[in-house]
Structure 1
Amino acid sequence: MGRIYRGILLSLAIVAGLLLVFLVVVIGAEALLRLFDLGSIRGSVQFSEYAIFSLAMLAAPWLLYHDGHLRVTIMLDALSERARAKVLILTDIIGLAASAVALRYAFGVFLQSYQGGRFLFDDVVVREWLLQWQVPLALALLVIEFIRRIWLALGLPARRVDLTGVQDNA
């Protein structure tokens, strides 16, 4: 199960990386076309916005798994190891609760959009749900990851330091 889970996270992170490459290419091409007064790529701004949103959603679970998210370590470093472990568990519980509530809402919005057949009208017309599927998926994976982190922290306290990588983020 762990290999499948890590594979899903890695696959989504790779898609996020490919979206970043897409952004670099499209924005660069758009800049060159405008520089030489050759017009622009229809929908490039619109799809760049969508790509930035999708990139953030798809990369978030992988970043949390690898402890690559932002953290203020000044306060954590000042705490004892035991207090630090408690604070990290508390923040994971808060993250779990926030992700679970957001997941419930996001899934409802996604379902309404899919069932309602809604569209986004801009340079290019796009079905709304095509931009929303990432949110419930990412939030579900964040819920799983927060549960995994809490489980590890409660079951194997010595491994929590490895999980957090606090020393690496200082």
Structure 2
Amino acid sequence: MSVTTVPLRPVSKGGLWLLWVSLAALVAVAIGFAVFSTPRIGFEVVKAGTGPSPTKADVVLVKYEGKLDDGTVFDANEQAPMQVAQVVPGFADALTRMQKGGKYKISIPPQLGYGNRETGPIPAGSTLHFDVELLDFRSEAEVRAMQQMMQQQQMMQQGGPGGPGAPAGPPPGAPQQ
């Protein structure tokens, strides 16, 4: 049996450039597809805030109202403390873009909200719409320190060591036993 060989002609320099340009265009299209097919939140600044933005490790205090596509209010709160890391991904993303004192309108697609889970009054696959005002935020360490101070004050008020209601010690100037 005999195999016929076919010699390959050399590729011209113009052909190599065309190959590289085509490859670059293909990569650009793939990146564009990945960027535009990734779900994103809608984020509108109604009133700009000032200062830095919270991080995922912070605790925020927000005023908010959450609605469904049909305008049904599913939740609202005048002063809600929230750990940024413990809310749905879309809401966490939005919070890290806000500044203290700012007011925002946010739309969260189902993939970044509750997805295909029904949660209370929120049907599965719902887009969530929020009006949010960032009242304040603190680091988790600051919040823990504030909680400890409040607990100590409560102990003092409820008769903890040395507080009102604690066993009386000797009157001032009395001899110690």
Q: Calculate the TM-score normalised by the size of structure 1.
A: 0.21
Say which structure is richer in helix.
Answer: 1
Say which structure is richer in strand.
Answer: 2
